[in-house]
Structure 1
Amino acid sequence: MTDTDGTDSAARSLLGAKWKPRILAALAQNGRLGFGDLQRELGGISNKVLSNDLEDLLEYDTVTRDVVQEQPVRVEYELTAAGSDLYDIVERMADWDAQYVTGAGRPTLLIAEDDVRQIELYSLWLSATYDVVTATDGREALDALDASIDAAVLDRKLPVLHGDEVADAVRGGGEYVPVALLSSEQVRPTDVSLSADLLLSKPIGRTMLENAVAELLRFESLSPAARDVRGRRHRLAFVRDQLGATVEETGPFADAAEELARIEAERSVALREREPWRRLVDESGDALTEDADAGG
């Protein structure tokens, strides 16, 4: 038991600031970032505020600061174990908002399922936390998907328009809505290319559905590029888990894995071009490796 007053805790002080929770989120979602990377991820934060907030986070050992180049000085920041635990508190605060804050703070979820009994069950599970909108066919679901919807769970075998078609329309539209596709069908290698952020199998239990919706809502906080990469990773992992390692030898899976590797490589190159010192660090590391090999 501690004598510390929770209302006057260091964690409360850090999380009560405007930018510190966002710094923690940026590092949690992207890994190691330089000062300029953080500014771009956050947007709107001044050099002075970012510098001061990082110093505060360093003081409490929630981030580390590594000098990767001396002249000119270039540094990278990364979450410590304490920082990761503090970010978990940030996520739990968001979950609390979703569960208890009514009105604008309560996310709106679309559930599209042609089985009325399933809709009633899913709504019962989720309505305590979310405002639930329902649809029983694909056309109705597509009509409901406007700016008021924060996330959607679509059955793949909807009448009129299949869930896949609705997801394709959402992906091609101007307004991003994170989508999960729910299916009782046999998973196929081509499912890696579906227009969904998450793939789910029927039958689905309450905890799994609640976790999936929470994950969908986290997609909204990511950049478009990060959302795309995370969705691709999930689909590949889901199909591999369902069909086994041999699926990696199929054309659709291999093509999707190759495409993901290409996108991730391009993001890495773009990051090095934004911060040229990264290339120097990489080249220095390669040179050290070559020297070590030669010495061996």
Structure 2
Amino acid sequence: MSEQPTVLVVEDEPDLADLYAAWLGDDYQVYTAYGGQEALETLDDLDDEVGAILLDRRMPGLSGDEVLAAVRERGIDCRVAMVTAVEPDFDILAMGFDDYLVKPVSSDTLRDTVAGLLRRGEYDSGVQELFSLTSKKAMLEAEKSASELADNEEYQELSTRIERLRSDVDESLHAVTEDDDDFEELFREFDADE
């Protein structure tokens, strides 16, 4: 395994995939796949070395949604951000991604997202799930009206699940001291997702 974390960029527009790879190339070992099937083949070749995947949602052939489902079904332990022109809707609540970016995306946003994904991979599964769910909640709150959110049962269940998870991980957070950089960064990320 290389010393730099490995990132897989999955994007059916080669110029955009190559641009993302160029933005990330100084800090990460970056692989590109220009379609869903190529992404799965690349993941097979990398043998679980991938720490983060940037995944376009709409691609011809195998869609990003299908690639994401395959990644999770295979038990590949990596963080996934959807980077897509598809505006989020309530269907994202059932998807197993960790973050969701709507194109166009700046180089700073992409770099910050990858760094955050890789940092999240170091936390236990409860904290990882909490990050993922709060990201989905924040995205929906930015895109949907208060009445749409209030009327959606899945959104209400999401809010309840987040509160339960916060309570569950509270004990592990108490074990971390306030002068620990990871502790401060963790709460900065929670504040950013709210």
Shorter-normalised TM range: 0.7 to 0.9
Deviations 1:163-210 (A, max 9, x none): 112112222333311000112122212223321000110111111111
Supply the distance in 2 between the matched residues of 1:194 and 1:118 (Cα, whole angstroms).
Answer: 24
- 156, 161, 173: which one pairs with 1:259? 161
Instruction: Give the CA deviation at 1:260.
Output: 2.6
Q: 1:271 Cα deviation (Å)?
A: 5.0
Q: Indicate if the aligned counterparts of 1:192 and 1:239 stay in contact, CA closer than 8 A.
A: no
Normalised TM-score (structure 2): 0.78
Residue type at the aligned position of 1:206: S
Q: List, as ranges, runs of 4+ consecutive aligned residues in structure 1 with deviation greater than 4 Å.
A: none
* Aligned residue in 2 for 1:117: 15
What residue number does 2:76 align with? 175
CA 208–247 in structure 1, closer or farther in 2 if over 3 Å, else same: farther
Q: Deviations over 1:30-62 (max 9, x none)?
A: xxxxxxxxxxxxxxxxxxxxxxxxxxxxxxxxx
Partners of 1:263 and 1:222 lie apart in 2 by 14
* Alpha carbons 2:88, 2:139 under 8 Å: kept: no
2:25 and 2:85 map into 1 onto residues whose CA distance is: 23
Mapped to 2, the partners of 1:139 and 1:200 lie a distance apart of 22
Larger radius of gyration: 1
2:63 partner letter? H
User: Structure 1 counterpart of 2:131, which letter?
Assistant: R
The code of the aligned residue for 2:162 comes to L
Q: Distance in 2 between matches of 1:225 and 1:261?
A: 12
Deviations 1:145-170 (A, max 9, x none): 23121110000012222111211222
Instruction: Give the letter for the 1:257 counterpart.
Output: S
Q: Secondary structure at the match of 2:88?
A: coil
* SS in structure 2 at match of 1:164: helix
Give the one of 158, 169, 186 matched to 2:59.
158
Q: Aligned letter for 1:230?
A: F
Q: Percent identity?
A: 29
C-alpha contact 1:247 1:253 (8 A) present in aligned 2: no
Count of residue pairs the alignment pairs up: 168
Which residue number in structure 2 is paired with residue 105 of structure 1?
3
2:139 matched to 1:238?
yes
Aligned-pair Cα RMSD in Å: 2.1
Query: Which of the residues 114, 121, 128 maps onto 2:26?
Result: 128
Call closer, same or farther: CA 1:246–1:175 in 2, change over 3 Å: same
Alignment of 1:48-197 (within 5 A): 104-145=2-43, 146-197=47-98
Give the structure 2 partner of residue 208 of structure 1: 109
TM-score, normalisation: structure 1: 0.53
SS of the equivalent of 1:105 reads: coil
* Secondary structure at the counterpart of residue 134 of structure 1: strand
Residues 203-261 of structure 1 show CA distances to partners (whole Å, capped at 9, x for unaligned) of: 11111111101111011110011111111111111111222433421322122222333
Structure 2 Cα separation of the partners of residues 143 and 244 of structure 1: 40
> Amino acid of the residue matched to residue 203 of structure 1?
P
Find the aligned partners of 1:250 and 1:118 in 2 and give their Cα distance.
37
Q: Report if aligned partners of 2:56, 2:64 keep a CA contact under 8 Å in 1.
A: yes
